[in-house]
Amino acid sequence: MTAGGTLAALAAKQATKTMPIIFIAVSDPVSSGVVTRLAHPGGNVTGFSNVNAELVGKRLEYIMQAVPELSLVAVLWQPGGLGERTEAEMLKQADDAARALGVRLQLVEARKPADLEPAFSEVTRAKAHALTLFPSTMFFNERKRITDLAARNRLPAVYQLREFVEAEGLMAYGTNIADLFWRAAGYVDKILKGPSRAISPSSSQRSSNWSSTSRLRRRSAWRSPRRCWSAPTRSSSSPTGLCPSCA
């Protein structure tokens, strides 16, 4: 059995204690109670997490490549949107990366969709030069609204999934969701062909996907002073995402 997302994984786990379950795109499988440990999940459940706290710092690096003169980056987050352990690790990674890069962070909360416009108003008042955000199911569902707000406020932004770029966001670096499904299929194949239905270790996604677009740059009248972005969309394993003449 395969299950996509935390709620589906928990429902599948509750439904059976014997049938192997492969979960996909669960933000924090340990804190949410899907598995006890990633390396040794135990029971009949294993799968793939779509959140990697280490990528928070990489996104800050990439937005600085686009806006080299920035000094203040807004971080949009939904308190409680991830497990407590994951949120704490993301906050630490963001703080460490900001110190290393010499920029300041402005943490802005949005607990529900109605909080998004006030949150962007807060970012604008603080005169932040760019935006990033922590993963959240609510943010994913509201991605078109978020990318529109970033464009309206002329904020270059880096997101965690390419679906934000498809919604006219500027750029994204993070988990390749499609790859998770391919890897889950490999787990299923291994279970069905194996001599016993042994459960493999759960995994935090390590391969990442870069996407960028020129649409937001045009709509927001924002231009990087030193580089231009490939258009209309480019996805690759390269961390630059720049056109060949600027890479």
Instruction: Using the predicted structure, report yes or no on whether residue 243 has a pLDDT greater than 50.
Output: no
pLDDT of 200 reads 53
Confidence of residue 30 (pLDDT cuts 50, 70, 90): confident
Q: What's the confidence (pLDDT) of residue 1? A: 63
Amino acid at 196: S
* Range in 27-36, 184-193, 204-213, 233-242 with the lowest mean pLDDT: 233-242
Q: For the chain, what percent of residues have pLDDT higher than 90?
A: 30
Q: Residue 228 pLDDT > 80, yes or no?
A: no
Q: What is the pLDDT of residue 47?
A: 81
pLDDT at 118: 97
Q: What's the whole-model pTM score?
A: 0.68
Instruction: Provide the residue type at 21 as one letter.
Output: I
How many C-beta atoms surround the C-beta of residue 189 within 10 A? 10
Among the listed ranges 13-17, 87-91, 190-194, which one has the minimum average pLDDT value?
Answer: 190-194
Cα–Cα nearest to 153, from 234, 221, 223, 238: 221
87 burial via Cβ count (<10 Å: 0-12, 13-18, 19+): buried
What pLDDT does residue 239 have?
36
Q: Domain 55-174+208-236 in CATH: superfamily?
A: Response regulator (3.40.50.2300)
β-pair type (130-133, 157-159) = parallel
Q: Is the pLDDT of residue 245 over 50?
A: no
Common-topology check for domains 2-51+175-204 and 55-174+208-236: yes
The CA angle 137-200-31, to the nearest 5 degrees, is: 35
CA distance 216 to 153: 11
Please give the mean pLDDT across all residues of the chain: 76
Cβ atoms of 34 and 10 within 8 Å: the answer is yes
- Enumerate the domain spans of the chain: 2-51+175-204, 55-174+208-236
Q: Could you tell me which residue, 145 or 221, shows the higher pLDDT? A: 145
CATH number of the domain at 2-51+175-204, out of 3.90.1150.10, 3.40.950.10, 3.40.50.2300, 3.90.1150.150?
A: 3.40.50.2300
φ, ψ for residue 173, nearest 5 deg: -145, 120
> What number is the average pLDDT over the span 82-111?
90
- 189: pLDDT strictly greater than 60: yes
Mean pLDDT for the stretch of residues 217-238: 39
**Greater model confidence, 128 or 208:** 128
d(CA 205, CA 146): 24
Extract the tokens encoding 37.
């440990």
